[in-house]
Structure 1
Amino acid sequence: MYSKIAFKNVKKSFKDYTIYFFTLMLAVCIFYTFNSIESQKVMSELTSSGESYVDILSKVISYVSVFIAFILGSLILYANNFLVKKRNKELGIYMTLGMSKNKISKILILETIIVGILSLISGLILGLIFSQGLSILVVKLFGLKMSTYSFVISGKAMIKTVLYFGIMFLLVMIFNSFVISKYKIIDLLTVGRKTEEVKFKSNIVYLISFVLCVISLGTAYKLVLEVGLLGIKDIKFITSILLGVLGTFLLFFSLSGFILYIVKKNKKIYFKGLNIFIVKQINSKVNTNFISMSVICLMLFMTIGMLSTGFSFKNAIESGLKDSTPYDASAYLYIDEGEKANDIQKSLEYIGVKFNKEDKVVYYDLYTDNKTISEVLNLNANMRSLMNYMKLSDYNKLRELDNQKALSLNKDEVLITSNYANTLEALQNYIKNNDSIKIENKSYKIKDKKVIEENLKTDFMKNNMITVIVNDDVCDNMALISSNVSVNFVGEGKEKREADFTNKIYSYKTTDTDYDKIGFVLGVSKAEVYESNKGITTIVLFIGIYIGIVFLISSMAVLALQQLSEASDSIDRYKSLKRLGASEKDINKTIFIQTLVYFSLPVILAFIHSVIGIKVANDFVSVYNKPDIMGSSLITAGIFMIVYIIYFYITYSGYKNIVKNKIHVK
């Protein structure tokens, strides 16, 4: 009996369940898709070339999935609460007919099970399709070649999805039973007659709040642009975050009164058509839900930021790999004044690094005159790194290692090398306006008036801030700052010797190491750089997409549910419009404008936040290489618009149907 009632209720209320069901289906789909990634065929291709990052990725996704489950669980409870409230009168009639609260709870539990099973099945089916598409996306993003394609079903991910969502539905059942136990018949039957009293404060309060909002957001943007992500521990960065959050809440708090005040001033707009009704409705919604709208705005900001910067971060690192790895391997030893260990050749011998006769090995040193880049070139005051100098003879050895011709310098000439994104542009501007630089109070001409863009060692990124190539005797009175080696392995077993090179450098660092004798040697190989890059970009990109999409869906779902809830609460207002002679077209127009404005307000502010956030993130990413945000922005915009349009359309249609059915518009 109860199962029949439950099935009939679900079937009868399918339109009410549309947003709920659609959100559940998408949530299950996304949860399964990302948790199944480790089982996909393409992940075995990722591990075939060397060290595996699949275990790290799967563990990170597992940890993130707990957080995602919490977000989705809260969303499901919120959506379920909306559905229960919408059926208050129906539940009151059940009680009036003599049905006990326990029996009503059973019906709701059965309805939850039915919807849960349907959403799980449809979501898993959709997830199976999307997970295969995710494999293809991985291939495209990381330039891999799949030897064969096979349709993969991850049993582990399926069990985890069913388990997590099973717990969520169990919590919904407990929640429903608790809510029903607190209900009284009179409250359920008269809920439709109760109208929410919207209290508007004086205009001066909203005006002050708006001014404070502008000051807070303006200060937040200024501070975060000043310090950037590199200053994440700086008090200015923390202050910018707090002011940004405060400004967001103040904006939505002040928006209702501020909009009403501005529109009222323009009588032509305010009294045109049903604009009075539309403005009052929007103000009422914003005034009631300004906290949730603020949270949604911040979530959308994080979504846009994570999706956009995730792709640009990957592109920036990958595009700079070739230029940052000119040799098979490099190692270096930083040297402070008075240190005994100052020769990397001896240090490598102590730790057991050996080269074959065929291997091409170049040892070279870097020097400094203890002046910063800013002091020598009069550049940005933030460029406090010491100027580096290299002997021409050492530089030509490196060029020979890279199969380039040797260069020569006159006694009064120097060469400028750099490829570090944050200093390269400033250097080029300096050379455009200056023919020379001063070294030890002597002027030297810059040969060819150009910057040679190159890394002088293999490393994880392009990090040659500036190295000046000088005649050998110029370095005689300078301090040795680092001892370096770069090598190209030749002949059979080069891959093994390359791996042994870095393994020896990593493994010698123990508690028994005599650092006074050996020094602190750092090194990396080209293969390691590429493999590490592949792992880092995989993790960053997938976690960013995973969290971003869940935040996007959750935000849109909450906006949709708030709108639909408001539709039920505002039926009397629409009945009044109908009695006053408003046509179906006019009423639908008011619904469309309200829904559009309500959906757009948090999106617009999130977009403004994102412009600043992406600028800051790209400044940080530019340490690796200048990012191209066009492609990632288009992808982000595409994902955003698809989800936005789907939820907007479902909400508008649902809102319209609720009003139409209640006021009998024909």
Structure 2
Amino acid sequence: MYSKIAINNVKKRFKDYTIYFLTIAFAVCIFYSFNSIESQKALLDMNKNQAEYMSLVTTLISYVSVFVSFILGGLILYANNFLIKKRKKELGIYMTLGMSKRKISKILLSETLIVGVLSLIAGLLLGLVVSQGLSLFTAKLFDVGMTEFKFIISSSAILKTVLYFALIFGVLMIFNTRIIAKYKLIDMLTAARKSEDIKIKNPIISSIIFISGIIILGTAYYLVTKSGLNPDKLGFKLSIVFGIIGTAGFFYGIAGFLLGVIQRSKNIYLKKLNIFVTRQISSKVNTNFVSMTVISLMLFITIVLLSTGLSFKSALEKGIVVPFDASVKLFTDEENKYKSMEDVFKAINYDFNGKEPIFINGYIIDGIDANMILKDYAVGEFKKSLDNGKHRWEYIDAIKISDYNKIRSLYGEEPLSINDNEILVTSNFTEAKDSVKNFIKNSPQVSIAGKEYKVANKEYLNEAVYNSELADNVLTIIVPDDFKDMTLNAAYMNMNYKNPNDPDEEEDMNSLFDSFRRYDEIYDLPMIRATKSQIYEASKGLTTMILYIGLYLGVVFLISSAAVLALQQLSEASDSSDRYKALKKIGATEKMINKTIFTQTAIYFAMPLILAIVSSIVGISVVNKFIALYGKPNIGPTALLTLGILVIVYGGYFYVTYAGYKSIVKNSK
């Protein structure tokens, strides 16, 4: 009997369950899609290193999913509370007909179970489709082919999704039982007559708080712009605190401020139903300024994460410096036994089997640094970095011309020669490029160790001494072989494979680098070693992790924000039904009422989004400056992707809310 009543209730109130159903279905879809990543490895033509990074991504997603489950659980409880509140009178009628609270709880449990199962099935079906697209996305991120395309169903992800949401619904059922037990019959029967009073704060106080909020937000923007994306700086930490306080002040005061401004403009305030719309919005924002603050901050995080993710990946990969197939850097100092890579390979009895590596040494020159050389020629952002102390060096790197020509031989380039009073200047640091070019063009000579040297190269030399994850050669000078005033700092081995397409050569070098871990303990060899493939795979693994986590959290935050706004507006519709009846009685047409509903729903959805977009412009510019250290950022494609997701999810919730609001007002009796 209870299940039959529950089924009839779900059918009858399906419109009321729309937001609830959509929210759970979207949540299940996202949860399943990202937790099915592990199964995608079967489709992708990955090597051992790529598979390891994929496993790391999967592990990280699992940890993040625990956090996500709490967010989604809270969201589902919030949505459920709206439904219970809306049905108080109906549940009160059940009690007057002699039904006990225990039996009412059983009906609610049955309804929750029915809607939950339907949402779970719909979400899983949608997730199965989305996860296939995620497979193609993963292949693109790792730059690998697909062995074959098959429709993959991840049983482990299904089991995990069902388990997590079963726990959420278990908590939900307990919550419903406790709520029903606390309700009094009189409160349930009179719930429909109780509506939230319109609360308007003092416009003067609101205006002061609103303006203060804007000033604090402006301060936050200034601080984060000056300090950059550097968590160690006080300015960055303060920008976060001020950003939160400023956002809260903005929403606490904006309703009273705008109400005061609009009331002064009688032509606007007294036009049609604008009085009603203005006071409705002001009241709702006043009541929910805390949730509006949280929603705006979540939307800000979502927009920044989604807009900069792919740009970061692209810039990081462009910033990779891998001129050689394999490279080793040994850090040398007085305590180290080995001063060259040749000695290291002799000590471990390694046979290169016909390969022809080059061995070079790196030096540092004390008493001079990149700041001293470039300060008079620095331009743009690099000049600002030097002026504010962001970049500081205590020495300058140098290598001998004979070693430099060994590097050129691996490039297939002709050797260069310099006189005893000449040097070459090389760099590959993106931010310093224009400054180094300016120095080469305009600097007649450089004083090093008490002697004047002429810069021999007239063109910018974009060079690297070894393979690296990023272009970090700010300035390296090439000195004559007889230059004495420098200290040995590092020893290098670089080589190219005879056949770059032969996987055995890569595997052989991987084995050598793995063996260095054992030799580290025996010979104390502080070194960096990497093949070209290893660096690319590490970069793709890192960027894939960042992208997946950003996309995962971004979409969850977006769904949560839109769902909460929708539920608040639908709750407002239920509370305000008597006010709309009064409007009809005084002659307001259905068209006028629908317009007021559209206007206030649009404004309510737009307010947190607009502030989030403004904050995101600042946030994205700061992130782009950080990304520019690795390569030129391009947020065009990701901005379009973000816009598409916002339109689909946020716009979809807005439309469903508007339609639901109209339905509630139209059917109110």
- What is the TM-score normalised by the length of structure 1? 0.93
Match of 1:94 in 2: 94
Match of 1:483 in 2: 491
Distance 1:312-1:587 versus aligned 2 partners, 3 A rule? same
Q: For structure 2, which runs of at least 5 residues remain unmatched after alignment?
A: 379-385
Deviations 1:420-465 (CA, angstroms, capped at 9, x unpaired): 2232233234445545544345554444543222322111222222
CA RMSD of superposed structures (Å):
2.1
Note the 1:293-312 alignment, pairs <5 A.
293-312=292-311
Match of 2:36 in 1: 36
CA distance in 1, matches of 2:443, 2:657: 62
Residue 550 (structure 1) aligned to one of 547, 556, 559: 556
Could you say what secondary structure the match of 1:485 adopts? Answer: strand
Offset at 1:484? 2.0
Match of 1:522 in 2: 528
CA distance in 2, matches of 1:416, 1:532: 30
CA distance in 1, matches of 2:534, 2:261: 60
Deviations 1:333-381 (CA, angstroms, capped at 9, x unpaired): 3345786653333244335554333323232323323422112211424
Could you say what secondary structure the match of 2:17 adopts? Answer: helix
Deviations 1:565-584 (CA, angstroms, capped at 9, x unpaired): 00111112211211221111
CA distance in 1, matches of 2:291, 2:350: 60
Offset at 1:198? 4.0
CA distance in 2, matches of 1:209, 1:445: 62
Letter of the structure 1 residue corresponding to residue 323 of structure 2: P
Residue 498 (structure 1) aligned to one of 502, 505, 509: 509
Offset at 1:296? 0.7
Match of 2:479 in 1: 470
2:613 pairs with 1:602: no
User: Higher mean Cα deviation, 331-340 or 266-275?
Assistant: 331-340
CA distance in 2, matches of 1:582, 1:437: 83
Offset at 1:416? 2.4
Offset at 1:43? 5.7
CA distance in 1, matches of 2:137, 2:633: 20
Paired residues, what number?
A: 654
**Alignment check: 8 A CA contact 1:42 1:135 kept:** no
CA distance in 2, matches of 1:275, 1:353: 84
Offset at 1:240? 1.5
Note the 1:31-430 alignment, pairs <5 A.
31-41=31-41, 44-47=44-47, 52-229=52-229, 231-321=230-320, 324-336=321-333, 341-351=338-348, 353-378=350-375, 379=378, 380-381=386-387, 382-385=390-393, 386-430=395-439
Q: For structure 1, which runs of at least 5 residues remain unmatched after alignment?
A: none
Could you say what secondary structure the match of 1:16 adopts? Answer: coil
Distance 1:441-1:572 versus aligned 2 partners, 3 A rule? farther
**Alignment check: 8 A CA contact 1:368 1:481 kept:** no
Match of 2:582 in 1: 576
Offset at 1:14? 0.7
Distance 1:199-1:585 versus aligned 2 partners, 3 A rule? closer
Letter of the structure 2 residue corresponding to residue 189 of structure 1: L
Offset at 1:419? 1.6
**Alignment check: 8 A CA contact 2:358 2:406 kept:** no
**Alignment check: 8 A CA contact 1:43 1:54 kept:** no
Distance 1:414-1:261 versus aligned 2 partners, 3 A rule? farther
Could you say what secondary structure the match of 1:40 adopts? Answer: helix
CA distance in 2, matches of 1:109, 1:9: 12
Letter of the structure 1 residue corresponding to residue 519 of structure 2: Y
CA distance in 2, matches of 1:584, 1:439: 84
Residue 649 (structure 1) aligned to one of 648, 652, 655: 655
CA distance in 2, matches of 1:41, 1:514: 38
User: Higher mean Cα deviation, 16-25 or 499-508?
Assistant: 499-508
CA distance in 2, matches of 1:604, 1:597: 10
Distance 1:138-1:568 versus aligned 2 partners, 3 A rule? same
Could you say what secondary structure the match of 2:353 adopts? Answer: coil
CA distance in 2, matches of 1:404, 1:118: 67
**Alignment check: 8 A CA contact 2:374 2:435 kept:** no
Letter of the structure 1 residue corresponding to residue 307 of structure 2: S
Letter of the structure 2 residue corresponding to residue 489 of structure 1: Y
Deviations 1:26-59 (CA, angstroms, capped at 9, x unpaired): 1111111111111125664234576522221221
Deviations 1:92-123 (CA, angstroms, capped at 9, x unpaired): 11111111111111110000010011111111
- What is the TM-score normalised by the length of structure 2? 0.93
CA distance in 2, matches of 1:51, 1:248: 43
User: Higher mean Cα deviation, 150-159 or 619-628?
Assistant: 619-628
**Alignment check: 8 A CA contact 1:505 1:521 kept:** no
Offset at 1:157? 0.7
**Alignment check: 8 A CA contact 1:416 1:450 kept:** no
Letter of the structure 1 residue corresponding to residue 222 of structure 2: K
**Alignment check: 8 A CA contact 1:198 1:288 kept:** no
**Alignment check: 8 A CA contact 1:308 1:633 kept:** yes
Offset at 1:222? 2.0
Offset at 1:479? 2.6
Could you say what secondary structure the match of 2:668 adopts? Answer: helix
CA distance in 2, matches of 1:233, 1:578: 60
Distance 1:206-1:348 versus aligned 2 partners, 3 A rule? farther
User: Higher mean Cα deviation, 287-296 or 377-386?
Assistant: 377-386
Letter of the structure 1 residue corresponding to residue 3 of structure 2: S
CA distance in 1, matches of 2:359, 2:633: 32
Distance 1:239-1:336 versus aligned 2 partners, 3 A rule? farther
CA distance in 2, matches of 1:54, 1:479: 42
